[in-house]
Amino acid sequence: MFGGKMTSVGKKLIRRRVVDLSSEDTRFARCLSTLDLIALGVGSTLGAGVYVLAGEVAKEMAGPSIVLCFLVAALSSVLAGLCYAEFGARVPKTGSAYLYSYVTVGEIWAFTTGWNLILSYVIGTASVARAWSAAFDNIIGNHISTFFMNKTTVHLPGVLAERPDFFALILVGLLTALLAFGVSESALVNKIFTAVNLMVLGFIIIAGFVKGDIKNWQLSEDYINRSYKDIGKEAFGSGGFIPFGLEGILTGAATCFYAFVGFDCIATTGEEARNPQRSIPIGIIVSLLICFVAYFGVSAALTLMVPYFLLNKESSLPEAFKAVGWEPARYAVAVGSLCALSTSLLGSMFPMPRVIYAMAEDGLLFKFLSGINSRTKTPLSATITSGLLAAVMAFLLDLKDLVDLMSIGTLLAYSLVAVCVLILRYQSGQLNSPKAIEMLELNGNEEERVIMNPTVTPASAQQKDMLSLATLFNPPTDTPTTLSGRIVYVCVSVIATLITVICVVLTLKVTALKDASVGWIAALVLLLVALLIPTIIVWRQPQSNARLNFKVPFLPLLPIFSIFINILLMVQLSAGTWARFAIWMAVGFTIYFGYGIRNSMEGKNAEEPCATVEKPLHHPGLDVGPGAAAV
């Protein structure tokens, strides 16, 4: 009795979402062009970090080799971007990583992803709103903070901010109203601010190369010792182009990786782009390329203008222009930073209601959040609810301790999307029209059914499809089968587990590995060999030959490398961050097990004898491969 109930609950946790790609009908307005998506991705990714981060990383971690940090970080981000691009071409629906997880690895993982994306977007919105308020206040001479300093104090260390931020509250309210008004209007505002930001960055890059001096990339240790005796060796490393060595480049790259976070908001526009299967992959790849050029150019200009160890961490660009005699350029930097913060804020707020809407539409969150306004074609309830939550957080909370939580949500989403790409490419299931499959099931012969829906295997093939050592390393067919799909599913689970263990060892035992501890080095080598075996098995399995507008190249290596980078960065987050993450997940699972698991649309459709629109018929004889988004 108890075992049966547990099995039933287990099946509910891993039930997968079925999407109908035969129809392009949507409740949203299809009005976004490829240019709109590129502007959205650039605006969201190229935030104020470009004005602050470059100086901080160059001074303390990498010196002039910060340009290499951004190169490494960009390559790492592109791995995640490629995975998102393939899914954008494969499943052009609203929901981003939440939906991708749902169609591949099951409901519980989808809820975990969506719930953490919501947290990331809310904290991102609130923290950027506070940064915008502080930047504006700084430009006008700190009049706002001075006015409120003595009149309002609600300080509670670690929880409430020193003073409530009325300006941030108003700002989030205005942008919430803009997003509720319509997606095309929001996209227009975003394009204007992004264009201004890119023009300012272009000016900074050109000015930096004009006023810069290549000698600042070639400073010797002796020269610095003679010229700046008051600065200790630990402040500038060993001089030259790579003063802090390879370790400095890798540490800097880990920090710079977060500068490329934000492109995933493009993936939530699946039902608002005019041609999502083409626009989403192009939007993601082009926006990442533009962001890399901007970060690379600004960091190069900055370190050419001023010796890296003399950079001012707080305001590196204005001080750099002052050092070369172009002090008025600081006003251009101020305008650019406000535009960057504005687009970054819009980039955090835009995807948030769409993920909430997708989860509510699937029944995993409260149904009232899935309301779409008939005039503006926007998810009005989700937009207002998420805007209110972000506004209250920006108004009252001290967000410094919560910012790292954004990283968990984003990195978890990146990892799961890479896992999903890896699993789906090797599945036999195709995303076909449910109506077509229904007609074939009723009227077609076995041969026709196999051709249109590879998840249906002929009786003769089913008998031969047995698991053996030969099947693992030398599959009998060139097309995916149910068995090969299951093999990949199990192998990817093993790969993800081994990568997590390897990342924990690399993080916690880094000193022992540096000291050449034989035991830990042997353990690491064994883990790597163990990782190699399932990777080879996956590589040997037949891939799906379904035609897509974009496919991730070099499978299975690129997704596996992406998973490794994301998990390594997650493991390095502090214990306090993981404790706060556990609390947030406890709240989420309370909602899921109290409401979502019973109201899930997939669960309701499975119980109904006949399929509703956009859902397939349930065929007991159909054996769908694990992870296949079969329709």
Q: pLDDT tens for residues 132-153?
A: 888 888 778 777 777 766 666 6
530-584: pLDDT as tens digits: 999 999 999 999 998 888 888 898 889 999 999 999 999 888 888 888 988 999 9
Q: What is the largest CA-CA distance in the chain?
A: 88
Mean pLDDT along residues 208-232: 72
Residues 6 or more apart in contact with residue 448 via CB below 8 angstroms: 440
Structure confidence at residue 444 as a pLDDT band (50, 70, 90) = very low
pLDDT in tens, 42-75: 999 887 778 878 888 888 888 889 999 999 889 9
Give the pLDDT mean for 337-359.
89
Tokens, residue 144: 């706002």
Q: Which residues contact 172 (CB under 8 A, 6 or more apart)?
A: 125, 126, 129, 345, 349, 387, 390, 391, 394
Structure-block tokens of residue 242: 């790579």
In order of 65, 67, 121, 588, the CA distances from 303 in angstroms are 9, 9, 32, 45
More confident residue, 21 or 190: 190
Contact present, 346 and 256 (Cβ < 8 Å):
no
Q: How many contiguous H segments (helices) and E segments (strands) does the chain have? A: 29, 0
- Element (DSSP H or E) covering residue 297: helix 276-305
* Residue 241 pLDDT exceeds 90: no
Query: CB within 8 A of 526, min separation 6: which ones?
Result: none
Q: Label residue 269 by pLDDT band (50, 70, 90).
A: confident
Model pLDDT, residue 91? 85
pTM of the model: 0.83
Share of the chain above pLDDT 90, in %: 28
Q: What is the pLDDT of residues 455-495, one digit of tens each?
A: 444 443 444 567 788 788 888 888 888 888 899 999 999 99
pLDDT at 103 exceeding the cut of 50: yes
Over the chain, what is the mean pLDDT?
A: 81
pLDDT at 385: 92
State the average pLDDT over residues 217-243.
66
Task: List the end-to-end C-alpha distance of the chain, in Å, as a whole number.
Answer: 32
- Can you tell me the mean pLDDT for 99-106? 89
Q: How confident is the model at residue 450 (pLDDT cuts 50, 70, 90)?
A: very low
Q: What's residue 271's pLDDT? A: 85
